[in-house]
């Protein structure tokens, strides 16, 4: 555990409890390096960071440090998709095949866009045994494999977390209707207008700013058993989803490689800071420096529950709208109209329009929390809402 971390940044009076919770993540919950940002009414009230971006090299977490946020990237992809819906370029009720004709193969011709965004498309596990990490980085081999595949279950009949395929399908829809790769679209239409430090596909010149990811410490046999059972067992749908395609993935040092940093994986490998994620969500619910990412009408459509109850991949209740996670999946404290997404290992970002609140937490020490929400994010969110009550 880290003791007495040097916390840098700013905290508005009344929100000291969030900074205290942030410190506890180091002293009690094993954080190595992390950042947290909260906006209220479009203004930052908490923007703090501490610890090490690379403990092995003694590199401190700095204001400009960015880190992989895993599935919190899905929230960014969801903003992109909902922008295209708002602009009339993407119809959530239209078949994916209308935009991507090859997708119609093997009985997928009627799957609508909204089922992809709400994890109902039946394509959670990409059953393509010969793909390589180089194929993943090249984009098109994975896209072709998805287009050719049969669904894992009858589309629309159930929802199941599309841990990686969500990003590839949504990203290909972005490419088909805009002509831009998803990382290019996010840069041009989300990050650049707001001055966000967030990217899908990190160029090598930025490597010096990227925090080193530290995999979860499996320090007892029970944790090792849980990890093997839930994340890599090929006899289960969950194991195939989380390790696939081709058993290429695990939550380990491979994410620190140049290949996976540079790849465009709109489900999994967005890199950024808490400040940018919180500011992005703030701009989804209000105008920030002249920029509004989503209209009120678009937000209202996006937060309507599309998938609720037991998830057939994860095996526990999950709740989704049009691309976003919804309460109670976001935790016990966010308000009923909140929307956002968490990421493997602990990251979380969301907006609560009723409280004019946006929140983000990012870190480089993963924790294993397959069936429970991460106590670090939970503590920060609880402290945030407690501060709001005191204002």
Asked if 39 and 357 count as a contact pair (C-beta separation under 8 A), the reply is yes
Active-site option among 71, 118, 267, 347:
71
3-state secondary structure the chain: CCCCCCCEEEECCCCHHHHHHHHHHHHCCCCCEEEEEEEECCEEEEEEEEEEEECCCCEECCCCCEEECECHHHHHHHHHHHHHHHCCCCCCCCEHHHHCHHHHHHHCCCCEHHHHHCCCCCCCCCCCCCCCHHHHHHCHHHHHHHHHCCCCCCCCCCCCCCCCHHHHHHHHHHHHHHCCCHHHHHHHHHHHHHCCCEEECCCHHHHHHECCCECCCCCCHHHHHHHHHHHCCCCCHHHHHHHCCCCCCCCCHHHHCHHHHHCCCCCCEEEECHHHHHHHHHHHHCCECCECCCCHHHHHHHCCCCECCECCCCCCECCECCCCECCCCCCCCCCCCCEEEECCCCCEEEEEHHHCEEEEEEECECCCCCCCCCHHHHHHHHHHHHHHHHC
What is the spatial distance between Cα 365 and Cα 374, in angstroms, rounded to a whole number? 12
347 is catalytic: no
Which tokens belong to 9?
A: 């940044």
Catalytic site positions: 71
């Amino acid at each position: 555990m880290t003791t007495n971390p040097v916390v840098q940044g700013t905290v508005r009076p009344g929100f000291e409890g969030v900074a205290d919770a942030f410190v506890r993540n180091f002293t009690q919950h094993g954080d190595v390096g992390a950042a947290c940002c909260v906006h209220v009414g479009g203004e930052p009230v908490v923007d703090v960071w501490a610890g090490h971006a690379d403990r092995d090299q003694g590199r401190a977490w700095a204001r400009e440090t960015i880190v992989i946020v895993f599935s919190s990237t899905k929230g960014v992809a969801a903003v992109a998709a909902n922008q295209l819906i708002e602009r009339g370029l993407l119809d959530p009720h239209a078949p994916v095949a209308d935009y991507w004709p090859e997708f119609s193969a093997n009985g997928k011709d009627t799957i609508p866009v909204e089922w992809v965004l709400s994890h109902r498309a039946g394509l959670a596990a990409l059953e393509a045994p010969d793909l390589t990490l180089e194929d993943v980085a090249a984009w098109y081999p994975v896209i072709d494999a998805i287009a050719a595949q049969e669904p894992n279950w009858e589309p629309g009949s159930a929802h199941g977390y599309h841990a990686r395929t969500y990003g590839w399908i949504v990203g290909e829809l972005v490419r088909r209707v805009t002509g831009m790769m998803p990382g290019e679209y996010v840069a041009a239409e989300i990050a650049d207008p707001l001055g966000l430090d967030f990217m899908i596909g990190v160029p090598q010149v930025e490597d010096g700013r990227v925090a080193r990811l530290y995999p979860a410490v499996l320090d007892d046999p029970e944790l090792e058993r849980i990890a093997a059972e839930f994340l890599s067992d090929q006899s289960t749908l969950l194991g195939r989803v989380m390790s696939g395609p081709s058993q290429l993935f695990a939550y380990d040092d491979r994410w620190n490689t140049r290949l996976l940093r540079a790849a465009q994986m709109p489900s999994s490998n967005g890199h950024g800071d808490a400040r940018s994620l919180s500011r992005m969500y703030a701009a989804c619910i209000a105008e920030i420096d002249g920029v509004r990412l989503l209209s009120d009408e678009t937000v209202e459509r996006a937060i309507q529950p599309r998938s609720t109850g037991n998830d057939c991949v994860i095996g526990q209740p999950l709740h989704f709208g049009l691309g976003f996670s919804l309460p109670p999946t976001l935790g016990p404290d966010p308000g009923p109209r909140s929307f956002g997404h968490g990421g493997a290992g602990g990251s979380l970002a969301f907006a609560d329009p009723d409280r004019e609140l946006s929140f983000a937490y990012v870190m480089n020490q993963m924790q294993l929390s397959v069936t429970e929400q991460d106590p670090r994010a939970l503590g920060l969110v609880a402290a945030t809402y407690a501060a709001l009550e005191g204002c």
